[in-house]
Chain A
Amino acid sequence: MIKLTDEAIVALIHESKQLPSGYRETLIGSKMKKEDIHKRGDLKVIGADGNTFYIKVRISTLNVLNFSVILGYEPKETTSLFLLRRYNGKSHEHTNKIEGHRFRDFHIHYATERYQARGFAEETYAEVTTLYSDLGGALNCFISDCNFLFPSDEPLPLF
């Protein structure tokens, strides 16, 4: 079942989203919450068009290359998240099931219409990236790609 078309996905990515003050501490800093051998940071952000988004960050304390920065979209009629993007480390291999590409590297998952149509998780398609090599870099890349606006009272991070 197709929940969101490619056009709707692009529109949601392009919708500007204001980050709150202290977002970095919450997502990847001292305010992360510990759950067993993982740490997590979560933020809810309302976009300029009124849509609700969630940023979810996860990282393993056993392997710093095992991390994920996720952009989830919550449709108005439900609380079930649709995962628009996922920025992963390279702790595991990935295979694009339709194209048959298999790789083990830093990679970004993209929600696509064609994977939804085949019954896969919406964000199954992924591409290798060289834009980051750690969690902080992945968050910077995520912020830039997904049209987040920095808080006006905080200095821009050094990329």
Chain B
Amino acid sequence: MSIQEINETLQQAIGQQVTVELEGNNRFPVLTPFTMDDGDHYNIVLRGQEGQQNWVITDEGETLLHLSYWMDYNSLKKGTRQQVIERVLGQYGIDNRDGELRLEIKYDELSSAIFTFLQALTRVTDITYLSREQARATFLEDFRELLRTTVPEERLTFDYNHPRYDRQRIYTVDALVNHRDVPLYIFAIGSNDRCRDVTINLHTYKTWKIEYQSVAVFEDQKSISRDVLARFSDVADKQFSSLVSSEAQIVDYLKKQLGTSDN
């Protein structure tokens, strides 16, 4: 089989995988074989008028909307995830117009622009993996930022040590929320080792017979080994499985604990 035959076979096969339909006025959905993790295909729509040079490729907001099935939508608009999305879109010249991803093109650029747009969408949806990998470096930073924006400054202390029982500063609480009947001891847990340390801390606090309510915010609870998590769960009060996907629930919980909830 010659290289020319292979080329022709591939070009024909790939070409048949991409089709365009007409729906409504000057709206052309582009159907491609590329899918997200859940089997749903990327939504790509061409908008433009026959004979005109200026066209737009848009996802009609579907890509970021889709991510909101698994992640808090607001978490895509701040911190590391926002930076990653902005960088990807910037690299491909794509605008984010209130959640709609758009690429303005000349009609002559259509075929290459479709691939560019698809590649950008693929990288944006990879944010679900980035949230576990790239965001790791900023987990503690994100954790602290979330508390700073939710808890009044006068009620929040980072890196707290009990003044009577822990003068050597060994059993540190990542964040203390005070001025309530029972203080909240909040821990950021990003690894097995940290989970073991916090388990020991909680056991130690119990021996001190102090009153507190513990809250654990995991970077990704699924990454903690079963045995470590089981021992931790025996002594922990409230747990949130992921800072990224549970952000709205964490804020809601803290507001209720602070007595500042809207509900």
Contact = CB atoms under 8 A, between A and B. Distances in A.
Interface residues of B, number: 35
Contacts, number: 109
Given A36-B98, A37-B100, A126 B69 contact: no
Given A60-B62, A97-B35, A80 B245 contact: yes
Given A60-B65, A79-B239, A83-B69, A121 B43 contact: no
A62 B29 CA distance: 14
B60 A104 contact: no
A109 B38 contact: yes
Contacts of A93: 31, 40-41
Contacts of B42: 92
> Which DSSP category, helix, strand, loop or mixed, fits chain A's interface?
loop
A120 B221 CA distance: 19
Contacts of B62: 60, 63, 66, 91-92
A66 B39 CA distance: 16
A95 B39 CA distance: 5
Contact of A68 (B35, B69, B239, B245): B69
Interface in B1-53: 31, 33, 35, 37-43
B65 A80 contact: no
Contacts of A125: 39
Contacts of B229: 77
Contact of B239 (A56, A60, A77): A77
B65 A38 contact: yes
Interface of A: 35-38, 40, 56, 58, 60-63, 66, 68, 70, 77-81, 83, 86, 88, 91-97, 102, 104, 109, 120-121, 123-126
Interface of B: 31, 33, 35, 37-43, 60-62, 64-65, 68-70, 73-74, 97-100, 221-222, 229, 233, 239-242, 245-246, 249
Given A38-B65, A66-B43, A124-B37, 7 more contacts: A38-B73, A58-B68, A81-B70, A91-B43, A92-B43, A94-B39, A96-B39
